[in-house]
């Protein structure tokens, strides 16, 4: 049976298990109404764990648990990716790695286009799994997913990563053609956060 986490009260200290300043800023905005004392793993000089999980849930959980144990605070981690059904879910867990050490997403998008040339199935989805971990080892997960299609050529100048080649179902725009506020109202991360906020506040 699914168990709900304890409610998080104002002034609670929360560690975001990430060293990515952009992600810290985005999560700060998503949680701005709840008067939390938010720290990031980078700010606390916590080491980044190796992501050895075989699912988004496992990777989010191991990041959250490590940050929670190391800080003795509640920790929140996310693991997310872009998945192409025609490529058996790739790049999936390895979405960032496809872009290489220099985060060359243009190269990665071209690689996807090349691989999909002879494959009729262009359906795709973005997924985000949030894991909330407590120092006693308890964890809770929340998943958000947006279905759509891989489109070519890339369109739009907003967003980041694979946003220019992803067009959500029933929407004329790619993620990269949407303003931040528009994308953040329908994105995979926003949907996961809605579930997290509903359960915890």
149 annotated as a binding-site residue? no
CA-wise closest residue to 131 among 186, 44, 9, 49: 49
36 SS3 class: coil
Catalytic residue among 11, 79, 90, 180: 79
21 annotated as a binding-site residue? yes
170 pLDDT exceeds 60? yes
111 pLDDT exceeds 50? yes
**Which has the higher per-residue pLDDT, 21 or 135?**
135
Look up 79 and say whether it is catalytic.
yes
- Domains of the chain listed by start with CATH number: 13-200 (3.90.950.10)
Q: What is the mean pLDDT of residues 44-63?
A: 95
In angstroms, the CA 169 to CA 75 distance is 33
* pLDDT at res. 3: 78
Ordered DSSP codes for 177-189? GS-HHHHHHHSHH
1 pLDDT exceeds 60? no
Q: Is 65 left (phi over 0), alpha (psi -120 to 50) or beta?
A: alpha
CA distances from 127 to 23, 66, 72, 189, 191 (A): 15, 22, 28, 8, 10
Q: What is the mean pLDDT of residues 190-200?
A: 95
* pLDDT at res. 2: 58
In angstroms, the CA 97 to CA 29 distance is 27
Lowest mean pLDDT among 48-52, 64-68, 73-77: 48-52
159 pLDDT exceeds 90? no
* pLDDT at res. 30: 86
């Amino acid at each position: 049976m699914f168990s709900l986490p304890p409610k998080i009260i104002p002034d609670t200290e929360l560690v975001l298990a990430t060293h990515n300043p952009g992600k810290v800023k985005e999560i700060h905005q998503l949680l701005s109404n709840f008067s939390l004392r938010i720290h990031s793993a980078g700010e606390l000089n916590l080491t980044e764990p190796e992501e050895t999980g075989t699912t988004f849930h496992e990777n989010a959980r191991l990041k959250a648990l490590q940050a929670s144990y190391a800080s003795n605070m509640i920790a929140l981690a996310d693991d997310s990716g872009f998945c192409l059904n025609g490529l058996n879910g790739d790049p999936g867990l390895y979405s960032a790695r496809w872009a290489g050490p220099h985060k060359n997403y243009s190269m990665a998008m071209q690689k996807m286009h090349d691989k999909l040339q002879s494959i009729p199935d262009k359906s795709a989805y973005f997924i985000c799994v949030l894991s909330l971990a407590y120092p006693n080892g308890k964890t809770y997960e929340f998943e958000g997913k947006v279905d759509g299609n891989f489109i070519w050529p890339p369109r739009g100048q907003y967003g980041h990563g694979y946003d220019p080649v992803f067009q959500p179902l029933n929407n004329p725009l790619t993620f990269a053609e949407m303003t931040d506020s528009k994308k953040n109202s329908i994105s995979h991360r926003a949907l996961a956060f809605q579930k997290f906020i509903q359960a915890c506040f």
